[in-house]
Amino acid sequence: MSRVGLRQGSPSASRRRGTSSPLFAHPIFSGVGRQVVIVFALLVALGVLAAAMAWSTAARGDEPEQPADVQRVERAVTELAAAKRAAAGEVKANKVAATKALSKCESAGPGWKAIRAVKIPAQRSLYRRGARTLWKALGEVAAERAAFDAYRPGFERFLGRFDSPLADPALEAGVDAWRKRVDLYDAYTPIGTCAQFNRLAKRARQFLPDVEADYKSGDIYNRMVRFVESTKRTAARRHWGSRYATALTAARDRLIELGANDGYATFFAFGHSLRG
């Protein structure tokens, strides 16, 4: 028998072949190996995900909870904005009604009758100009009243949210300014009516043409022309002033400082507007 044949059949050769076979070549060990690899891969993936979440949280930072005052203001502002949007149709309808009501004294009525009774052209022309200026100004106030009547329920609900005072003095001062603004609207907006127009226009009188007549007719003219602005100034002296406007601006800045949304803070300061 050849030397080669002896080596192939020898026990030592068999042991060497057995030793060269991988451990996981056996079917049982092969399945276990695959499971170990899968578990290991899952653990690695979970580790990567946890690290990513930790990095995201660190990058974003832990935002502190807003103060209670800010939360109250933002909720109230959100409700007010929705109320004003919902009232848009009512504002439009109210303005149409106000325009229709005021049109009755645009060129007719007791006021115009008194003006046309003046026979001296210069005086009659002066009264006519004053009446037209008055009527236009009253129309603008009537439009404000139309909006105020539609927004009033929303304004009242908004202020009702602060029946329990805010803890921050600057914010509470802003709420007080809000109340004064509503009082201001309530004080001057009722004047936009034909009753007011006729009351002033009926004062037109004819005077003998002299210096005193110019003074007297000029005084009647000025009363008509200045009536609306005079009424607004009187109401402002009682219910408004620069200190309240300043308080609203300060409240807006304080809200932003406390972490409020800029838009909410600005709406808190100017949401009382009758323009929308």
pLDDT digits over 7-26, tens only? 344 444 444 444 444 444 44
Residue 275 lies in a domain: no
Asked if residue 105 and residue 7 are part of one domain, the reply reads: no
54 has pLDDT over 50: no
Residue 90 has, within 13 A of its CA and on its CB side, a CA count of 16
Residue 172 lies in a domain: yes
Torsion of CA 169, 171, 173, 176, to 10 degrees: -140
Residue 160 lies in a domain: yes
Asked if residue 183 and residue 165 are part of one domain, the reply reads: yes
Question: Could you tell me the pTM of the whole model?
Answer: 0.74
Q: What is the domain range of residue 50?
A: 3-60
102 against 56, higher pLDDT: 102
16 against 184, higher pLDDT: 184
Residue 276 lies in a domain: no
Where does the pLDDT of residue 223 fall: very low under 50, low under 70, confident under 90, or very high at 90 and above?
Answer: very high
Could you say which of 23, 43, 60 is where a domain stops?
Answer: 60
Asked if residue 237 and residue 103 are part of one domain, the reply reads: yes
204 has pLDDT over 60: yes
Mean pLDDT value across residues 99-114: 96
